[in-house]
Structure formats: C-alpha cells, structure tokens
Amino acid sequence: MELAHFDTAGARVITVNEHRIDAAIAISFKDRMRELTDQGPDRIVVDMTQVDFIDSSGLGAIVAAMKQVGPSKSFELAGLSGTVQKVFKLTRMDTVFTIHATLETALGGPIADAG
C-alpha cells in the first residue's frame, strides 16, 4: 500500500501510488489513511490520478477514510479516472464527495512545492 504525502500552505496532499484500490488492499488503505490524516493541515486532498480501478471495497475504504477524518477537516478527491468516476457515479457517491478534475485545479494553480 503506497501512499505519499506533502503539505502546501493550506492542504495536505495524499498521493495514492497504486493502480487499484480493491478488496486486496482496502484495509491497509484505510489504516494508512488514518496515519496520514491524523496530523497536518485541515484540508486533505487525495490525489487519485494513478488509480485506474476501484471496486466497492475500495470505495468503502475511501468513505471510511473520510469518516475517520471527522467534520473538523475537509476531505476532497482529485484526478478520478474513467472507471473510478463510473463507480462513484453509479453508487451516487459523486454527490457526497468534493471531487476535483485534477490536483492542480484542487490546489488552485501549479503545484510549487510538490515533492
């Protein structure tokens, strides 16, 4: 389960360095997300650009990650690929999450301090 992160002035960006969030890694995804969202800025943006597939277990893990962040922080997603978008749309979870087309639009401009 590969998650990377960096902080900008106002946001913690968590990059999912996996091609799939599925039943095989859903639990470790949720656990690792808890570690990475416990600290840092109050705005969390999960960069999903590299993820080309999620199943319902993966979706459940993303919902769980948002729930464990709690209402005091903002939990947002960016860069959903075609099939990932489809799963969000079919389950209507696209109405629950704030979803940005790309990480760049989520952060309102080019990423200066990536890495």
Partner 1 sequence: MGQAHQRHNSALSPETDEMSLVFPARPMAVRRALRASMTGFSRLSLTSDESGVIEIVLAEVLNNVVEHAYAHHKDGVVELRVKRRKDSLEFTVLDDGVPLPNGALPKRSEHCLNVPVEDLPEGGFGWSLIQELTRDLRYHRSNVRNKLEFTIKLADTQII
Binding residues among 50-109 for partner 1 as defined by CB under 8 A: 53, 55-57, 59-61, 63-64, 66-67, 71, 82-83, 86-87, 90-93, 95-96
CA distance 7 to 19: 23
CA distance 21 to 26: 6
Smallest separation, CB 53 to partner 1 (Å): 6
Smallest separation, CB 39 to partner 1 (Å): 20
Q: Which is nearer to partner 1, 31 or 104 (CB)?
A: 31
50-66 per-residue burial string, b: 16 or more CB within 10 A, e: under 16: ebeebeebbbbbbbbbb
CA distance 43 to 69: 10
Helices (H), the chain: 26-37, 56-69, 82-90, 103-107
- Interface pick for partner 1 out of 23, 28, 35, 42 (rule CB under 8 A): 23
- The reply on whether position 114 binds partner 1 by CB under 8 A is no
Reading the block at residue 1, the tokens are 């389960």
Smallest separation, CB 17 to partner 1 (Å): 17
Instruction: Enumerate binding residues for partner 1 (CB under 8 A).
Output: 20, 22-24, 53, 55-57, 59-61, 63-64, 66-67, 71, 82-83, 86-87, 90-93, 95-96
